[in-house]
Amino acid sequence: MPPKRTSTSINSNASKKIKREFIVNETNEQYQEDDADVTIISSDQIRFKVHSYVLKAASVKFREMLTSEIINQELVLSDPLLERSSTLSWFLDVCHSKELPAPKSNNKYIPYITLIQLATKYECKLVIQQISLLSHKWCEEQLFEPASVFMIGCALDAPDLTACAIRQCGGWRNSERKDNVDEEAKKKFKNRVGTIQRVAGASVLDPTAMDFPTFKALPDE
């Protein structure tokens, strides 16, 4: 079941706006344009100042929400899962024809899943298309482990991407535990019944060897 979505409010009356203290950081520093006609406030209270025509061109929902009759509109986003500044920054990057960053770790796929959910909420095909194309590329270049690509393919409902992940799986195995644990504990990590973590040494796409959160995220069909 997808996460519960919260509504987005629009405030176009400057006299009624609540005075807030906003910060500028790495997520929003590129989106502080003086001549922008839309201000988006993320659920973690980070402000992005952008042009409405960019949002309208990329998103069906933003096209419906933003009207040309209202000047200097303010969109207050409230979904704590999907509409945080880190995800919104990536969303706006794609809307401004920028490429998403490659994963810093080959199993860090959750931010891309969240971006897919945000793009789906606002009906932004541009974001969906870029994630799909880049995931194919990252899979071929082995920047992403096949299990991560498989999960992204499931989120996109893209059989071609999940098939790419399966083809690339090959010798990808869950890593052995290298921390300071005794031999009995190490054996437990290889026991499919005795651990809810990834089963060490097993294929990364073996459902019986996945950690519980990953297994739970697999689609039913």
Each residue of 112-122: pLDDT tens digit? 999 999 999 99
Note the pLDDT of residue 98: 96
How far is 81 from 52, CA to CA, in rounded Å?
24
Rounded CA gap, 88 and 95, in Å? 10
In this prediction, residue 7 carries a pLDDT of 53
pLDDT for res 100: 95
Stretches in the chain below the pLDDT threshold 70 = 1-21, 68-70, 106-107, 171-172, 174-198, 201, 203-205, 208, 215, 220-221
Query: Cβ(11)–Cβ(19) under 8 Å?
Result: no
* C-alpha to C-alpha distance for 35 and 49, rounded to whole angstroms: 9
What is the structure's pLDDT at 102?
Answer: 87
pLDDT for the residue numbered 11:
56
pLDDT of residue 183: 55
3-state SS record for 201-212: CCECCCHHHCCH
Give the tens place of pLDDT for each residue, 170-220. Answer: 766 766 544 544 555 444 444 444 445 667 767 666 776 777 777 677 776
Two tokens, residue 16: 């009624």
- What three-state secondary structure class fits 109? coil
